[in-house]
Amino acid sequence: MTIDLDPTTTPETAATAPVRTAVKRTVLMCKPDYFTVVYRINPWMDPAIPTDTSLAVAQWQTLYDTYIGLGFDVHLVDPIDGLPDMVYAANGGFVIDNIAYGAAFTYPERQPEGPAYMDWFRDNGFDVRVPVEINEGEGDFLLVGDVILAGTGFRSASNSHEEVSAIYGRPVITLNLVNPSFYHLDTAVAVLDDTNIAYLPSAFDEQSLAVLRERYPDAIIVTEEDAAILGLNSYSDGYNVVIAARAKDFERQLRERGYNPIGVDLSELLLGGGGVKCCTLELRR
């Protein structure tokens, strides 16, 4: 009798998860030195609940340190006193091919962040495109391979999807968000690599859900519980996926599929309605 020792042909390994590959990321972050909640522009925010800025800074630091530990190139934009939401760097723009499409915020409280981020892009050698349409950057625009998923419904105007399509010359897929708690696309979709995503079905209208099901039949579907702590608001390098520490089912599903979930606790920044991804803007040269 011969025993087949070739691991590639055993039934056990055939059933194991695919091999994932980490790709080094370059990101922009903003330290929450002036973080607080003094206005309410999403259901997570309640100015009556006290915030602890030093705890926010300490938690943010663990995210920063995690990225450094993963070998990421992390750039920093200076926080500005009076702009408490500037920590959510994802909203500062959308950057592909060294072109930085600037943000034009929905609410007046955040509007000064648009020019502040555009100044940083300019000073750091990016080709800045000043936006015409209302948009909140990578909060609503997510690159998956060659395709741009674009959210609308609460923040970015659907006209901004056309603007992005014209600037980058890539397919842009509009997705309609319907739950005010998941007001940015990056609270309802996580990009895992060039072909895989995770999402929360109830955050989308029927039409958008049909698009997601058709394009990503193998997507991870997260639980309402995990989504309710902004568990989807995560950042992946293709193998390591930095997620909310409390998103346990998402963690399990990621592991099953060969990813390496890394939990961080950003509970203080959740009081502003943001998590891991909100604090992270990818810079693609």
Contact 12, 250 (CB under 8 A): no
186 binds ligand ARG (CB under 6 A): yes
> Max alpha carbon distance in the chain (Å)?
76
> Which 44-63 residues touch ligand ARG, going by CB under 6 A?
45
Q: What is the DSSP letter of 179?
A: -
85 binds ligand ARG (CB under 6 A): yes
Nearer to ligand ARG, 263 or 274 (CB): 274
The pair of structure tokens assigned to 48 is: 């009556």
- Does the active-site annotation cover 279? no
User: Binder to ligand ARG among 25, 237, 273, 282 (CB under 6 A)?
Assistant: 273
139 binds ligand ARG (CB under 6 A): yes
Site string for ligand ARG, 210-249 (x = CB under 6 A): ----------------------------------------
**Measured CA angle at 15 (ends 200, 201), to 5 deg:** 10
Nearer to ligand ARG, 41 or 77 (CB): 41
CA distance 208 to 261: 27
**Which among 256, 252, 260, 262 has a CA at the least distance from the CA of 17?**
256
Nearer to ligand ARG, 20 or 117 (CB): 117
Q: Which stretch binds ligand ARG (CB under 6 A): 39-47, 143-151, 170-178, 249-257?
A: 39-47
274 binds ligand ARG (CB under 6 A): yes
- Does the active-site annotation cover 161? no
187 binds ligand ARG (CB under 6 A): yes
Residues in the chain, overall count? 285
Which residues are 18's β-sheet partners?
none
CB of 11 to ligand ARG, least distance (A): 42
42 binds ligand ARG (CB under 6 A): yes
HSE-CB of 210 using CA atoms within 13 angstroms? 3
**Which among 223, 221, 250 has a CA at the least distance from the CA of 235?**
250
Q: Which stretch binds ligand ARG (CB under 6 A): 61-69, 118-126, 183-191, 215-223?
A: 183-191
Element (H, E) at 164: helix 158-168
> Which 145-164 residues touch ligand ARG, going by CB under 6 A?
none
CA distance 282 to 285: 10
Contact 183, 42 (CB under 8 A): yes
Active-site positions read 184, 278
Contacting positions for ligand ARG (CB under 6 A): 41-42, 45, 85, 88, 90-91, 110, 139, 184, 186-187, 272-274, 278
